[in-house]
């Protein structure tokens, strides 16, 4: 006597599809769900959409004509969502599975292995079956909100206006030929002074105006070095001529 094992299949419904369809039902209840409707709603191929149509009917959310049922109306209500998920679990899964894995925190590995044995499926199929079973066991309608927010694009970080201004200021300072140092309060900066350099005791004198740009955070030692350097280079010839 040959024993033929019954071909058993369980829903492989992705969480994304589940929440997207429910969100659509909450916004406005469709009059009829078809494979082309699901393909457009979920942005998937027509064959993939057709594979979702049968589970929706098996779960009692659609009737045989694809029209949303009374259960579908309760499914979109947050207060009734958990009870609808429990109804679906008891209808489509055997009592053995429900007793072995009653909670959403059940061992996922053991759950996947159960589906692999019971439905004779491979790695990918058993993972999808286990994922949907745990989704129903969790029965948490707030997860729809978290799934929606995780898809919200992140705002692109814009460069602060102050940073652009600082960059522009830096470029200007590089082009400036005047002396620039880090440091000192501007109150300590002297006004530009005229320096007379006599190249000849009897001849005309040379008049030079010098402007010094010193940053506000420069130390007094740095300022002293600047003026010492100026005295060394600008007055050197005058001192030589006088001698």
**Within a domain: 1:** no
Whether residues 138 and 178 share a domain: the answer is no
**Within a domain: 7:** no
Q: 109-116: long-range contacts (C-beta < 8 A, 24 or more apart)?
A: 115/10
> Whole-number mean pLDDT of the chain?
78
Check: CB of residue 131 under 8 Å from CB of residue 138: no
Angle of CA points 235, 239, 243, to nearest 5°: 170
Whether residues 112 and 53 share a domain: the answer is yes
Angle of CA points 128, 129, 134, to nearest 5°: 100
Tell me the mean pLDDT in the region 8-19.
92
Q: How many domains does the chain have?
A: 2
Whether residues 139 and 99 share a domain: the answer is yes
Which pLDDT value is given to residue 226? 79
Whether residues 93 and 144 share a domain: the answer is yes
Whether residues 199 and 139 share a domain: the answer is no
Helix, strand, coil share (%) of the chain residues, nearest 5: 55, 5, 40
Whether residues 95 and 177 share a domain: the answer is no
Start-to-end C-alpha separation, the chain: 131
Tell me the mean pLDDT in the region 65-71.
97
The whole-model pTM stands at 0.59
Whether residues 35 and 120 share a domain: the answer is yes
As a whole number of angstroms, the distance between CA 23 and CA 123 comes to 30
- Range in 54-58, 97-101, 167-171 with the lowest mean pLDDT: 167-171
Tell me the mean pLDDT in the region 49-65.
96
Instruction: Answer whether residue 113 shows pLDDT above 90.
Output: yes
The range of the structural domain enclosing residue 38 comes to: 15-149
Tell me the mean pLDDT in the region 102-106.
91
Instruction: Answer whether residue 67 shows pLDDT above 80.
Output: yes
Check: CB of residue 132 under 8 Å from CB of residue 11: yes
Q: What is the CA radius of gyration of the chain?
A: 40
Instruction: Answer whether residue 16 shows pLDDT above 90.
Output: yes
pLDDT in tens, 196-242: 454 455 556 666 666 777 777 777 777 788 777 777 776 655 555 55
| Residue 151 DSSP SS3 | coil
pLDDT in tens, 129-183: 999 999 999 999 999 887 655 554 444 444 444 445 454 444 444 444 444 444 4
Largest CA distance in the chain: 135
Q: Which of 149, 174, 189 is the last residue of a domain?
A: 149
pLDDT in tens, 29-51: 999 999 999 999 999 999 999 99
Which pLDDT value is given to residue 225? 80
Beta strands in the chain (DSSP E): 180-181, 194-198, 205-209, 213-214
Tokens in use for 157? 């970080």
Tokens in use for 226? 């600047």
As a whole number of angstroms, the distance between CA 91 and CA 181 comes to 81
- Range in 58-72, 84-98, 187-201, 219-233 with the lowest mean pLDDT: 187-201
């Amino acid at each position: 006597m040959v024993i033929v094992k019954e071909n058993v299949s369980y829903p492989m419904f992705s969480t994304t599809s589940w929440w997207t369809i429910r969100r659509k039902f909450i916004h406005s209840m469709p009059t009829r769900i078809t494979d082309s409707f699901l393909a457009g709603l979920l942005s998937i191929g027509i064959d993939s959409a057709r594979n979702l149509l049968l589970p929706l009917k098996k779960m009692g959310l659609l009737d045989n004509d694809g029209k949303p049922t009374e259960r579908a109306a309760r499914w979109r209500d947050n207060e009734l969502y958990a009870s609808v998920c429990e109804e679906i679990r008891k209808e489509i899964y055997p009592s053995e599975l429900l007793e072995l894995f009653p909670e959403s925190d059940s061992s996922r590995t053991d759950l996947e292995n159960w589906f692999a044995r019971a439905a004779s499926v491979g790695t990918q199929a058993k993972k999808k079956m286990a994922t949907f079973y745990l989704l129903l066991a969790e029965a948490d309608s707030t997860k729809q909100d978290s799934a929606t927010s995780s898809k919200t694009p992140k705002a692109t970080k814009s460069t602060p206006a102050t940073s652009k201004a600082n960059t522009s200021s830096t470029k200007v300072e590089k082009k400036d030929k005047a002396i620039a140092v880090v440091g000192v309060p501007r109150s300590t900066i002297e006004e530009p002074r005229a320096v007379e350099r006599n190249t000849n005791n009897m001849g005309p004198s040379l008049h030079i105006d010098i402007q010094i740009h010193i940053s506000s955070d420069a130390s007094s030692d740095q300022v002293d070095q600047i003026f010492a350097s100026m005295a060394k280079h600008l007055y050197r010839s005058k001192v030589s001529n006088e001698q």
